[in-house]
């Protein structure tokens, strides 16, 4: 099965995502990671031998500010970028680890009719 796994941005989302991806790979599934592309992710991703997609995303700040509008715009744009990239080949399912880096892939998967966990 082709599985997309959206994680990253922080170690609290990336490391559980990588552990889950490794188990799924050992069980014979093709797993693609969708991460935020932050510097903190690079050392952990060195051990990953599968596909990695970088999602242009950022977290929402506390309270409302101009940065909030920029973050919303970035997440919306991320969903569009992910929708294009997810079509070839489309995953059977997307597992989102709950971080801001999973927002774009999750919205894209929903738009494309891909089940989201």
- pLDDT, tens digit (0-9, with 9 covering 90-100), for 56-73: 777 777 788 888 888 888
- pLDDT of 25: 96
Helix axes 66-86, 103-112, angle to 10 degrees: 50
59 in Cβ contact with 33 (< 8 Å):
no
Stretches in the chain below the pLDDT threshold 50:
none
- What b/e readout covers 29-58, taking b as 16+ CB neighbours within 10 angstroms? eebbbbbbbeeebeeeeeebeeeebbbebb
| pTM across the whole model | 0.86
33 in Cβ contact with 25 (< 8 Å):
no
CA distances 117 to 59, 81, 93, 105, Å, are 20, 20, 7, 12
- pLDDT of 89: 85
| CA–CA gap between residue 48 and residue 55 (Å, rounded) | 17
């Amino acid at each position: 099965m082709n599985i997309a796994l959206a994680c990253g941005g922080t170690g609290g989302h990336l490391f559980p995502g990588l552990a889950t991806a490794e188990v799924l790979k050992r069980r014979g599934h093709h797993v693609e990671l969708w991460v935020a592309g932050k510097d903190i992710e690079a050392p952990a991703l060195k051990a990953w031998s599968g596909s990695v997609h970088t999602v242009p995303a950022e977290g929402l700040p506390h309270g409302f500010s101009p940065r909030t509008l920029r973050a919303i715009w970035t997440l919306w744009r991320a969903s569009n970028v992910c929708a294009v990239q997810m079509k070839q080949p489309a995953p059977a399912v997307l597992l989102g680890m709950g971080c801001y880096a999973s927002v774009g892939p999750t919205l894209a998967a929903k738009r494309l009719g891909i089940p989201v966990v």
